[in-house]
A and B are shown apart, each in its own frame.
Chain A
Amino acid sequence: MADTPEPASSIHPTLFVCATLLNLSVIKVAGYLLPDQAYFTFSAFLFDERPVLRAGALILKLLPPVVVAFFVTLAFHRLLSAQRAMGRPGGVFESIIAARQLSTTLTASAFLSALLMAWPYILMWDMLIDPIMASHRLTFLLAYFIYFAGYAWFARTGVELAEVVIGSRGSVEDLSWVTAMRHPFLKPVSTALSGALASAVATFLVASAQ
């Protein structure tokens, strides 16, 4: 029997706007709450003459999309369960999950959130950035977009992680060499690795341009 193709995914507009606002809020709150040493920002490469490349801070920087996507996915599934328990099947939660819009929407919203945070530097580079960095403008633009993609992939990781947690219902198989290739955690781990690689490439680009 031939595999049935998965339905094409799409972006849910309302969820996209809400998730973007949520992402931005979490990024800003994290920026206010975290101490300087733990807060990583690409802009620091433009303004800060001290060593700004700290692995720990970079990891913290990439956590918000994972956390937001994880809890939004979890919330959607819990709310859907609650809705079903109340005997009201259907509705927005079910349609979004059934149409596989959750992952695409949260991934895209994370991309947009990262883009919005850096947009002033992209648009008004001439005014904001020391002219000494003028020749690195293209490098920074490419690094920014690679970083946005990496950031989005971490949101996808969050969604996949939540789906594994929900799907396993507590009976997750032990992770070992034998189970590694078929373990349900393989998918979010591989997605996170892709995102980490993109973030590393972006960081390398801006750090070498500094």
Chain B
Amino acid sequence: MTARPTWAGKSAATVANLLLPTLLGLLIGAVLAPVLYLGSTDVRGRQFSEDAEPGYQPLTAETPRQRVAVLALHRANLASITIPQEADGLPPRRPGWLSVEGSQLEQCSNRNPLVMSIAAVEIYARPAWRRSLETGLARLIHDISGKLPDWSYGIGQIRISTARKAITGALTQTEMLGRNVSGLGDLTDIEIFNRLTTPCDNIAMMRLVLNDIEEPGDTIPELAEKYRGGPETGLVAGAFSYSGLTWQVADFLSQLSESAYEPYSIPAFDEPWRTGHAATPVEVRPLPMDTAEPPTLIGCLKYGALETVFFADRNDFEESPYGYTDSAAISAAIAALDPTGFDLRALAPRVSDTITSPLFRLADDVDWLADLNTFRDEYGPWRSVTHVESAIDEYACAEVRLSPSPWPFYDALSGRSADNPPPIPDD
């Protein structure tokens, strides 16, 4: 004989019946979510911050490729998405853009736009869990057999053999510069593997690889295709190509920039998400004939990227503020001044002075190689190169200013010093 159900039991059963489809749907959705959204595991969910307003750029993403490019940037934490207010004079429900600080990629020293574009696409195409799985498996194989499989590793998906070739190529190109890059040419497979699985070193290596495969006249889609290697496979259910998406991300990065940017060139020195430095061409005057010896072109490395370039008399470094510039300004300056008459002096990155991690040092070295080689390829030979292991602040430099009302750097070369600084126009 069965017991009669109590009133409480009946009520509980009724409530359970009532909630059954809701709970069932919730359960199925929750179980399937990790499977359906495996690719979204890199999302960091950074929120829009009012403080970061200067970096804000409204963009539209209307085509499928544009939408995916937006999400690739978002997942790489190179941009955040927000809703512009109507009060800003913008239509509602348009994706807003904000370059964000503090992400894994942002902290890396090398922030070349093309490298960042490819990194963002790779992060989108191959989520973090899969990269970790691959590196974990490779490490296991190495522990068992003592050999590492020549797979693609890390954010940039670089093979060990490709990395070795790029390092060798860069070292060969740099030998003539007199730069002693200790130990980079003697790295073992496991050492290269360890670097490739470190995000910032991987990013730095991406740039070396790109330098290695780049040929004059390459467009971004062509370079991306070469970087990918082999025949293209479709991304996102075969909807569009790797190179197309890379181009789209690079194009968006250029729109995020307030500086001039040529979508089809590789502006090694441009950092398009920097703000407040409009890329008005600098005014360049001919060299004064009575200069004792040619002035020195100094490239200041900060966080591994050739960020600041300025000109100064080698023997007369005056106290002077220094600022940002870009490849167009450098190009204009060098075109007006005889390039063979200048020295390039690259100062040690500040980051090396404060961060003692050997991994950071490696990233800096690789960046340094990439910067120098790209610089040489773009602007021709120079007479000599000195690597000065010292902080930038010890050197005073004349500044190449970029402003609507250009201040010619020439003025600084011809005797104007920090005691009598030229007026700095408001940007």
Interface membership of B170, Cβ < 8 A: no
Interface membership of A195, Cβ < 8 A: yes
Interface membership of A141, Cβ < 8 A: yes
Contact with A along B15-44 (1 / 0, CB 8 A): 001111110111011101100110110010
Within 8 A of A (CB), among B74-101: 74, 81, 83, 92-95
Interface membership of B210, Cβ < 8 A: no
Closest beta carbon of chain B to A62's beta carbon, Å:
12
Residues of A within 8 A of B20 (CB): 153, 194
Which of B63-71, B214-222, B293-301, B342-350 is the interface stretch? B63-71
Interface membership of A77, Cβ < 8 A: no
Q: Are A131 and B95 in contact (CB under 8 A)?
A: yes
Closest beta carbon of chain B to A39's beta carbon, Å:
22
Q: Are A134 and B29 in contact (CB under 8 A)?
A: no
Interface membership of A57, Cβ < 8 A: no
Cα distance A49–B92 in the bound complex, in angstroms:
10
B83 nearest CB neighbor, chain A only:
A132
Cα distance A146–B317 in the bound complex, in angstroms:
70
Interface membership of B239, Cβ < 8 A: yes
Closest beta carbon of chain B to A157's beta carbon, Å:
11
Classify chain B's interface size: 35 or more
Residues of B within 8 A of A134 (CB): 43, 70-71, 74, 81
Cα distance A197–B19 in the bound complex, in angstroms:
7
Which of A13-21, A88-96, A119-127 is the interface stretch? A119-127
Cα distance A197–B94 in the bound complex, in angstroms:
33
Q: Are A137 and B21 in contact (CB under 8 A)?
A: no
Contact with A along B224-236 (1 / 0, CB 8 A): 0000000000001
Q: Are A141 and B2 in contact (CB under 8 A)?
A: no
Instruction: Choose among A3, A130, A142, A146 the residue that contacts B21 (Cβ–Cβ < 8 A).
Output: A146
Contact with B along A129-160 (1 / 0, CB 8 A): 11110110110011011111110110000000
B97 nearest CB neighbor, chain A only:
A131
Closest beta carbon of chain A to B101's beta carbon, Å:
19
Say yes or no: A130-B36 contact (C-beta < 8 A), given A123-B237, A198-B21. Answer: no
Say yes or no: A130-B93 contact (C-beta < 8 A), given A124-B236, A149-B21, A198-B22. Answer: yes
Interface membership of B390, Cβ < 8 A: no
Q: Are A145 and B26 in contact (CB under 8 A)?
A: yes
Instruction: Choose among A123, A131, A142, A190 the residue that contacts B67 (Cβ–Cβ < 8 A).
Output: A131
Instruction: Choose among B1, B29, B67, B237 the residue that contacts A129 (Cβ–Cβ < 8 A).
Output: B67
Interface membership of B405, Cβ < 8 A: no
Kindly name the residue among A127, A129, A137, A142 whose own CB sees the greatest number of chain B CB atoms within 10 A. A127
Say yes or no: A190-B21 contact (C-beta < 8 A), given A3-B2, A132-B94, A138-B37. Answer: no
Say yes or no: A131-B61 contact (C-beta < 8 A), given A3-B2, A141-B36, A141-B37. Answer: yes
B20 nearest CB neighbor, chain A only:
A194
Cα distance A158–B19 in the bound complex, in angstroms:
19
Within 8 A of A (CB), among B240-255: none
Q: Are B64 and A127 in contact (CB under 8 A)?
A: yes
Interface membership of B45, Cβ < 8 A: yes
Instruction: Choose among B19, B28, B70, B92 the residue that contacts A194 (Cβ–Cβ < 8 A).
Output: B19
Interface membership of A201, Cβ < 8 A: yes
A144 nearest CB neighbor, chain B only:
B29
Interface membership of A26, Cβ < 8 A: no
Interface membership of A193, Cβ < 8 A: yes
Cα distance A128–B83 in the bound complex, in angstroms:
18
Residues of A within 8 A of B30 (CB): 142
Interface membership of A2, Cβ < 8 A: yes
Say yes or no: A142-B239 contact (C-beta < 8 A), given A130-B95, A131-B61, A190-B17. Answer: no
Closest beta carbon of chain A to B121's beta carbon, Å:
13
Instruction: Choose among A129, A132, A149 the residue that contacts B25 (Cβ–Cβ < 8 A).
Output: A149
Q: Are B29 and A142 in contact (CB under 8 A)?
A: yes
Q: 15 pairs across A/B with beta carbons < 8 Å?
A: A2-B2, A49-B93, A124-B236, A126-B71, A127-B65, A131-B74, A132-B94, A141-B32, A141-B36, A142-B25, A146-B22, A149-B24, A194-B18, A194-B19, A197-B22
Which A residues are closer than 8 A to B by beta carbons? 2-3, 49, 122-124, 126-132, 134-135, 137-138, 141-142, 144-150, 152-153, 190, 193-195, 197-198, 201-202
**A-B interface, 8 closest residue pairs, ranked by CB to CB distance from nearest:** A145-B29, A149-B25, A146-B25, A127-B64, A149-B21, A131-B70, A198-B21, A142-B29
